[in-house]
Chain A
Amino acid sequence: MSEAKPFLLEIGVEEIPHWMLEPALENLSASLSALWGQNGLQHAPPQADATPRRLVVRTASIQTRQEDRTELVMGPPRAAGEGAAAGFARKQGVDPASLMVENTPKGEYFAVRKSIEGRETSAILAEALPAIIGRIPWPKTMYWTGKDGMRFIRPIRWIVALLGGQIVEFQAGGVRAGALSRGHRRLGADEIAFDYENYEARLEKNGVILSFEKRRKRILDGIRKLLRGTGLSLVDDDALLKDLCYLTEFPTPILGEFDPKYLELPSEVLTTVMRHHQRYFSLRDSNGGMAPNFIAVMNLKADRKGFVKKGNERVLVARFNDARFFWEVDLQRSLTERLPDLEHVTFQAQLGSYLEKTKRVQQRAANIAAVLGLDPLFARRAAELSKADLTTSMVKEFTDLQGVMGGLYARAQGEPGEVWRAIYEHYRPLSMDDAIPSTPYGQVLSLADKFDTLASCFSVGLAPTSSKDPFALRRAAQGTVKVCVEGGLRIPIRAMEPEVLDFFLDRVRYYFRDIRGYAYDEVNAVLAADPPDLVEADLRLAAVKRVRKTENFEPLAASFKRIRNILKQANWTRGDVNPALLEADEERALHAAAASIAEEVRRDRAENDYLRALNHIASLRPAVDRFFDKVLVNAPDERVRNNRLALLGRLMNEFSSIADFSEIVTTS
């Protein structure tokens, strides 16, 4: 093998949004591996790292040159003669005397063995890197060198590309690849020379901790040190920790404090301000209560004079003061008193105000509660107050707190737990990753609110299009699906307004496929059998998925598809089987098997045992197979033919009521 040397690529960029770093880095690393693979370049496993200002992929060794190789080029058949051979040799640029004759299954052919010189790795890289960098997918890109210039997430300001210490020459975004890296904006030099072995150490000297894991460890160790002996403990927040690791090149936590008087504010408010607006960690005191402290993470080594701590404390207090002002002002008017104000808050021009929406949701919530055997009065009251917090200053300022504040204000005005908790959590689930409301009335209100939004928007023609969904109706519909399934709520699917139904079922499919991981044909099969509610659909899907792996199932599904086609072609709609007209043994056997299995299935279904039922149905397979082997459905005698169609029709109707197997895509 040729010589191997280390390779390092560093793309220096103005601060990349933290949440985009991981996917970008994965893509860059995968593209490089693919390039090396396609070119047959042996290499050590690559390592990939990212900070807000750099994407780095490196490998400790990669071949500096492709191996030379030989390739056999086939020419004309030997029978074509010397003339053809000479032409082939000329075309290949070789002496006709160097042609060989290869024996192939098709006969003897002229051939030439050509040697192909391996390319320099640096040339391969120089050629491929601009496109590899340019193709990193970003959620939103910009141009900066001019209208037709490169598009990237933020301007590229430097590039290091070194193969064994030699610069790989290329340009991207108006920047020429070089050998010098850069340090932290404040803690490091603008030009850093290094060699492969001391790269990380040199960066660290210049205020850049390259490894995500090391930054993470530095934050956690730092927090541990800060909290030692204080009696305080960290409220774990992995998502925040990750964000902070990708927002900094040299993270250092600091411990801040605020006046305990702010603890009178609801902890939800304090947490929202700290977490979402300031990216601070919350802390608990030794009794497990919320402490008047926070942890901020700087992109700096130390805060010797305490300026950073003081600055952050000041910002936080200003925010808390705002929040306290809102809380106090808001409490001066109860939610009940605020209800008339909702008349002036527009839900949607054609659909009127939130007051009107509230009235619709009240009715719907009461109906759903009744279906579920809950108290419609609690549901109605929760719905009545659910949107009143939209008129509060707190929610106008911290919109994330809608619902939560309504719940807290309802509690403060003495509403029962069923009511205030329902209001508190009725916007959930906020996404497919969020939990559904934890209380029954919270679930009812969540459903009533979302169903109303769906039904009323559809009723005035505001259905989403493939590209536009300004009222987030997809999310609302998916939310209802999640609440029904995960809350075990048996709400009849057919109770849905007909104009919404298709859209809703589309979201049901999405949920079962993309969130729950069922195959699309399994979902189609179950939905085609018209399950009464989504809890039922979920149970059936679980059974179909399990039974699918058994040997009889897919062949039987294939037979059902055949049955469906036969019935369709014959335009068969209905008819009973007349046992006297059954001629062949196989059709009598099938008729008997169907009767006895139908009996079993009825019993299974009475016990809600779908798995057993499906296994019973799958056991029809031998009888069905033998029928199709031996019996001609299209019999010359019309009465016999109709009787056979009736037999198949019965199978189809009776055994497709859990899941329509003809929807299953079979491999055979």
Chain B
Amino acid sequence: MDSFQETIFKLKRFWAQRGCVVQEPYDVEVGAGTMCPETFLRVLGPEPYNVAYVQPSRRPADGRYGENPNRLYKHQQLQVILKPAPSDVMDLYLASLEAIGIDLDKHDLKFEEDNWESPTLGAWGIGWQVMLDGLEITQFTYFQQCGGVDLDLVPAELTYGLERLVSFLQDRTSVYDIEWVKDTTYRQVRFLDEQQFSVYNFELADVAMLWKLLDLHEAEAQRLIDGYAKAERKERYPLLAAYDQVLKCSHNFNLLDARGAISVTERVGVIGRVRKLAVGVAQAWIDQQGLLRGEVAA
């Protein structure tokens, strides 16, 4: 039986051998691996890119104080982007499962319709949830749009839910019983993290401050986006920094949501604010990439 980290090593190695850049996690809070610049910005434009990385993903509302065996405030995703998707992408994906020790002749695999959509990123795609013996282990998506822009090359995004996958492989009923490495469990590594952030996210986070932070990050992102149009040396303009600000907005929104501070209608409004920023960065990014390739700006 492979440990949690051994399974991660194997997946990374599998994709490295197939030409992926293996990246380290992004160091700003995100709700999913898709939000990292390695996905969100790289899928834009005509340049092929293949990348794989583990991304700890924070979803404040999903926290359960470390008490629910399958629910986590922060879970680890292994994110793979193949841009453009090769025509044998499904076979590659199946081979990756075999590489971590799943004998597909002895297990039931189904691809069930599940079209991914992120209103905050103005992004959506078409795809499936992959079910292994009734357990959802991967989200498989062909991206169509990101930041409100139709993509030039259609990437395949594979998002493995690592805790689920490894509980399956190690036959554990609770993620906390997963063996992270020999003699160390997931609980030992992560329990306090789950407990304390649940307390903070649900009980102690200062709502007024979160709103203020959201406003500040929004203003900064917008300032940077507006600045791009007027910038003289566009090639070196810090759009990546602008995008970090968008991610901060998104995370503060998630915290406010977990605190129950956002009503159904406000929700739509705040999502719209974040989307506007994401779309603004995406459009500027496409323009900047064109300049960097030496194309004349439209």
Contact = CB atoms under 8 A, between A and B. Distances in A.
Interface stretch (B151-159, B180-188, B278-286): B151-159
A143 B68 contact: no
A307 B106 contact: yes
Contacts of B171: 314
B27 interface: no
Contacts of A14: 90, 111
Interface residues of A, number: 46
A348 B264 contact: yes
A307 B107 contact: yes
B109 A186 contact: yes
Contacts of A186: 104-105, 109
A145 B155 CA distance: 10
B173 A15 contact: no
B263 A346 contact: yes
Nearest to B105: A186
A312 B105 contact: no
Contact of A318 (B70, B104, B126): B70
A15 B130 CA distance: 11
Contacts of B126: 140, 142, 154
Interface string B132-171: 1111000000101000001111100000000000001001
Contacts of A225: none
B152 A308 contact: no
Given A307-B133, A312-B134, A298 B264 contact: no
Contacts of B151: 147
B91 to A, nearest CB: 8
A275 B87 CA distance: 34
Interface string A208-247: 0000000000000000000000000000000000000001
Interface in A330-348: 344, 346-348
A185 B70 contact: no
Contacts of B227: none
B84 to A, nearest CB: 8
A349 interface: yes
A157 B115 CA distance: 20
A468 B70 CA distance: 37
Contacts of A636: none
A61 to B, nearest CB: 34
A146 B70 contact: no
B129 to A, nearest CB: 11
B128 A15 contact: yes
B152 A147 contact: yes
Interface string A249-281: 000000000000000000000000000001000
B190 to A, nearest CB: 19
A143 B109 contact: no
Contacts of B70: 318, 322
B112 A142 contact: no
A94 interface: no
A311 interface: yes
The 10 A-B pairs of least Cβ separation, nearest first, read A311-B133, A349-B265, A17-B113, A346-B263, A15-B111, A298-B108, A312-B134, A142-B126, A315-B134, A308-B108
10 contacts: A14-B90, A15-B128, A140-B126, A154-B126, A247-B112, A308-B107, A311-B107, A317-B173, A346-B263, A349-B266
